[in-house]
Copies of this chain bind each other. A is one copy, B any other.
Amino acid sequence: MIETIRVGVIGGRGYVGGELLRLLLLHPYVEISCVTSRKAAGEFVYREHPNLRKLTSLKFEDVNLSRIGDKCDVVFTAVPHGAAMDLVHELYEMGLKVIDLSADFRLKNPEAYKIWYGFEHKYPDLLEKSVYGLPELHRDEIKRAKIVANPGCMACPSILALFPLVKELDVDLFRIVVDCKEGSSAGGVEVSRSSHHPERSNVVRPYKVTGHRHTAEIEQELSAVMGKDVKISMSAHAVDMVRGVLATCHVFLRENSTIEDERVLWRIYRKYFSNEPFIRLVKEKKGIYRLPDPKAVVGTNFCDIGFEYEDRTRRIVALAAVDNLVKGAAGQAIQNMNIMCGIDETTGLMLPGLHPI
């Protein structure tokens, strides 16, 4: 018999926090012991997350770490970058398992935080202890981890689409283009002019076309896979949808390298993903869902991956789609929790999406 996992969510008012709650309520072995929000303390959770009305009578609490220590086995921290660091440190010291959904423990190199995030990391020793929470690459380390750093919502599909190619083919490691398209929920719950509906509707708005912070994670993970430097040329675009990321990855074979045809790519992806429960290879010859589209993964923990090869330009186009709030955040985090707690990785997560949506 499986013991109940007592779970805390710090930062439950945001979209990632809300998605954690939705999924944790569906999880058969989880008891949500506490949900915190400074702004909404005392309020019913369903006032902020109207989808949970009649499904829970939980209320937001103020943050009280010692109470959390008493009541929880696992804590999810869903607070802004920079603000997570101290919380994670304290929870770790109290002996809890922590899954951090901010960027504060994703990068191994403390120097990288100065470059990409503009702050000095206060716990470089914890960076060593934390594990980058992508099960498809780090499953065994996650099993033993006390701190898991949940990947960025655009980093997740990009790494998944790219690492098998980088590993198995002779590609130009300095000319990898990752062109991302993302929905508005990725911007979080706080309002701004750029998220104002009249301004945010019907856009294809380039933002961070250079220097996007998720670049650092992708380069770190691919360089580790390769044992040498990989450079990622990343650009992000806001499009008119609420949930979803599509990463379109353009990869060039090096000059003297060739592949026969797309079957080579099939073999490579199958090698890495045929046993992965949340990776779906999507490459159809007909119909309208021939390649990955975020529309088909909304609400689910799947990452859909597809590809094409263009001989003329010696280019592989690898495409990966996730729901930024699920496989790109809360679902991934629960997958990590399952692994850390030694239960079946898919528990509570094998949910279909909605079609049409």
Contacts and interface: CB of A to CB of B under 8 A. Distances in A.
A357 B242 CA distance: 6
A209 B355 contact: no
A141 interface: no
Could you say which of A175, A207, A232 has the most chain B C-beta atoms within 10 Å of its C-beta? A175
Contacts of A174: 313
Interface string A256-294: 000000000000000000000000101010011101111
A51 B296 contact: yes
Contacts of A184: 197-198, 201, 356
Interface string A159-189: 0000000000000101101010101110101
Contacts of A15: 198, 355-356
B18 A210 contact: no
A25 B197 CA distance: 26
A211 interface: yes
Interface stretch (A96-104, A119-127, A143-151, A233-241): A233-241
Interface in A280-319: 280, 282, 284, 287-289, 291-296, 298-300, 302, 304, 306, 308-310, 312-313, 315, 317, 319
Question: Lowest 10 CB-CB distances: which A-B pairs, in order?
Answer: A210-B310, A198-B356, A197-B200, A51-B353, A51-B355, A184-B197, A50-B289, A179-B179, A50-B296, A204-B246
